[in-house]
Amino acid sequence: MLRIILKKATVLFFPCFIQLSCLHPKVFADKTVISEVGTDALLPCSYPDTPVSNAKIYWQTASGKPVHYFIEGKDNLNKQEPEYNGRTRLFPSELQKGNFSLELKHLTKSDQGVYVCINVPISQKQYIELIVKDVEKKTTPQGNSTKEVRDGNGSSQIKVEVPLLILLVLFPVVLQESM
């Protein structure tokens, strides 16, 4: 009886795991930038062999939202998402060196995520994860003085995903051994 229940649990549980991993694909970043709400962030991107006059560099979110386009030596912000309007810039003195790093100003929590620097002519992409931390002020035991405590969202995701992963790996092994 126990074997039948465990077999049914495995059959039901495994497809659920497959479905969850397909519904929530993860993009792994080449680099990670950590900054705070209200500050500016520099998202690195370098294509040293790309001449500026022929460059076609697209900065986008991982979901495809246009953040900043640079086409044939000029910024092209016609398709830029409104939330990035007036908040992005490249560094003209660095472009000749193939440095297409993007400055994103006045960060908000909604800026957190993965950004993609695409060199269109050679179909190369660089993924940069931006983590935007809150700055909270907490009262110390003495009463009046405050202390900055920086808190990000990454740690809570790890706490949820790691036990789930362990459960998914160990559960089928335990089932096989008990049968």
What pLDDT was estimated at residue 3? 54
Give the CATH architecture of domain 28-147: Sandwich (2.60)
What pLDDT was estimated at residue 135? 81
pLDDT of 5 > 70? The answer is no
DSSP code string of 46-115: B-TT--GGG-EEEEEETT--EEEEEETTEEE-TT--GGGTTTEE--HHHHTTTB--EEE-S--GGG-EEE
Residues 68, 80: contact at Cβ < 8 Å?
A: yes
Token couple for 84:
């990035």
pTM of structure: 0.63
For the chain, the 3-state helix, strand and coil shares in percent, each to the nearest 5, are 35, 35, 30
Q: Look at the chain and count its residues.
A: 179
- β-bridge pairing 102-104 and 88-89: antiparallel
Q: Model confidence over 111-150: pLDDT tens digits?
A: 999 999 999 999 999 999 999 999 866 555 555 433 333 3
Lowest mean pLDDT: which of 43-47, 92-96, 161-165? 161-165
Residues 33, 129: contact at Cβ < 8 Å?
A: yes
In 3-state terms, what secondary structure has residue 30?
Answer: coil
The model's confidence at residue 36, banded by pLDDT at 50, 70 and 90, is: very high
Q: How far is CA 5 from CA 68, 103, 109, 135, 171, in A?
A: 55, 56, 45, 49, 13
Whole-angstrom Cα distance, residue 50 to residue 58?
Answer: 13
pLDDT of 20 > 60? The answer is no
What pLDDT was estimated at residue 69? 98
pLDDT of 13 > 90? The answer is no
Sheet holding 88-89, edge to edge: 41-43, 102-104, 88-89
Q: Model confidence over 56-110: pLDDT tens digits?
A: 999 999 999 999 999 999 999 999 999 999 999 999 999 999 999 999 999 999 9
Whole-angstrom Cα distance, residue 78 to residue 68?
Answer: 9
What pLDDT was estimated at residue 84? 98
What pLDDT was estimated at residue 93? 93
